[in-house]
Structure 1
């Protein structure tokens, strides 16, 4: 798990975390569209504050922690543990939209991986061939199968999450493309801090303050017009 991120593995990780990966991430805003419509997120400073708070106390921390543990469990063929964490993540979702997002992205990633790596796919646990595999779990299984070092896979997961929500805000607020890139740069330190904190988490630390996202998700279906599915 501490293996060096060689040139080939780096390119594979860039592919896995690319916004061009056809898993549908671009169609979700995780409540950002609701908050933009309501005026809660109206500036780049508002979005920076929102994402920084999510990194410090939101459910993305739990997803990343479980990604890490599932990666380790999969590397040791402890697939019952992977299945348990998948069920735990499904139960964590407060709204049908958020659960649907996680399942749809997980399903799309695993279907893509099966097309790219049919031999490696046969080594994945049964839940990878079922419909309700959460994205963080699917990501961990693919990263482990590709032997991408855990630390690199985890921080790329956080970066990809932040980049996707910034992209959503660029369209929904709206913000300029340069502002979006500046925001992503400003999140470098918060992402690194979150990565370090998450690496030390235990099961006793599985808690989050996520009510803002939950309320935004619940209100999303009532918006007059929508660009996103969440």
Structure 2
């Protein structure tokens, strides 16, 4: 018998090939400006990214999408796909999330036969949807009957873990330091997921201007190893 939570956690594996290793979502800009240069400064950046961007974008979208799936309101899911894309002002980050979403969707379709992911793929092919990993992840969580808050928390973990691995390469940090940061962030993930459960839908898209500007500025950094 399949362990549904463990099956969903497979999508959190840093080896799950969504292309997240190619994107820093503005972190590289902070590294170039020497604002992030060690464990302490990176942890500070990561906390801001989690609580001031991820919570109000991908995290809240995941909750709203899960609720829409429970209600069978697919129009709401497709609207969230549009909002996640158009509210992402930085071109590189916007395109990066689309590529990651499409890649995750392709792999998920090889693992599961979920009608809504097939429909999502069709909509993307017809250019009626854009594709986003938060929505694909939520579709799988709902299909596997993993509870809503746990699905959200797993998604947040997958994003944070990927960013930590990218920081290990870019700052650089040691692998042990990276694992210490992931361990330390477990309580932050609980706080973040609990906050998401209490947010009003009108709060979707409230993100830190500093993070958005850094994501935009990434196009002009002198030396880069990431696509965003």
The normalised TM-score by structure 1 is 0.89
Cα deviations across residues 64-105 of structure 1 (Å, max 9, x unaligned)? 111111112123321001111111111110111111111111
* Correspondences of 1:84-163 after superposition (within 5 Å): 84-117=79-112, 119-120=113-114, 122-124=115-117, 126-131=119-124, 132-163=130-161
Unaligned runs of 5+ in 2: 125-129
Unaligned runs of 5+ in 1: 1-5
Give 3-state SS (helix, strand or coil) of 1:23's partner: coil
Give 3-state SS (helix, strand or coil) of 2:220's partner: coil
**Aligned counterparts of 1:56 and 1:14: Cα–Cα separation in 2:** 22
The answer (yes or no) to whether the contact 1:105–1:135 under 8 Å persists in 2 is: yes
Runs (4+) of structure 1 exceeding 6 A deviation are: none
**Aligned counterparts of 1:116 and 1:212: Cα–Cα separation in 2:** 38
Coordinate RMSD, CA, aligned: 1.8
* Correspondences of 1:21-100 after superposition (within 5 Å): 21-100=16-95
The alpha-carbon deviation at position 212 of structure 1 amounts to 2.0
**Aligned counterparts of 1:221 and 1:70: Cα–Cα separation in 2:** 31
Give 3-state SS (helix, strand or coil) of 2:131's partner: coil
**Aligned counterparts of 2:170 and 2:77: Cα–Cα separation in 1:** 35
* Correspondences of 1:206-217 after superposition (within 5 Å): 206-217=204-215
Cα deviations across residues 194-218 of structure 1 (Å, max 9, x unaligned)? 1111111111332523222222222
Aligned residues: 223
After superposing the two structures, state which structure 1 stretch, 33-42 or 6-15, moved more.
6-15
Give 3-state SS (helix, strand or coil) of 2:3's partner: helix
